[in-house]
Amino acid sequence: MSKYPGVKRLPSGGIEYRGTKFAGFNKPKRSNRPNKKGMVLAKEGDNIRLIHFGQKGYGHNYSPTARKSFKSRHAKNISKGKMSAAYWADKVLWAGPSGSKKSPPKTQTHKKLGSK
């Protein structure tokens, strides 16, 4: 039995929360909402929260100038930490060249969140 209500540990080591499977806490994946790019089951201390982030309709202009504008515009929300959507959008979508080094499959030309 999990100490977090609604969270069930799977035999594979993953987590099921409200019928959605996650690789673990703080592991972003593709969102199941039609208008969002990603979601994450965020955990900070004893608090957990399901966070959807990234507007799906927006393009992929993650240029250095756009990145700088995003970071300055959302700096206050990014600084709130793991429990804010801006933090996850910054970490996953706006990380830039110095961010995550995880490379996409060879057949994919742009960075995506995990498959559905």
Q: Is residue 106 part of a domain?
A: no
Q: Is the pLDDT of residue 59 over 90?
A: no
For residue 82, the model assigns a pLDDT of 95
Encode pLDDT of 70-82 as tens digits.
899 999 999 999 9
The type of residue at 2 is S
Q: Is the pLDDT of residue 104 over 60?
A: no
Model-level pTM?
Answer: 0.77
Q: Which residues of 25-45 are buried (b: 16+ CB within 10 A; e: fewer)?
A: beebbebeeeebbbbbbbbee
What residues make up the domain containing 51?
7-93
For residue 112, the model assigns a pLDDT of 56
The type of residue at 29 is K
Q: Is residue 88 part of a domain?
A: yes
Q: Is the pLDDT of residue 58 over 80?
A: no
Q: Are 56 and 36 in contact (CB under 8 A)?
A: yes
Number of structural domains found in the chain: 1
Encode pLDDT of 2-35 as tens digits.
677 888 999 988 999 999 999 999 999 999 999 9
Q: Is residue 24 part of a domain?
A: yes
User: How far apart are alpha carbons 25 and 105 in whole angstroms?
Assistant: 24
Q: Is residue 35 part of a domain?
A: yes
Q: Is residue 2 part of a domain?
A: no
Q: Is residue 112 part of a domain?
A: no
Q: Is residue 11 part of a domain?
A: yes
User: How far apart are alpha carbons 82 and 94 in whole angstroms?
Assistant: 15
Residues 6+ apart with CB under 8 A from 114: 23, 28, 29, 30
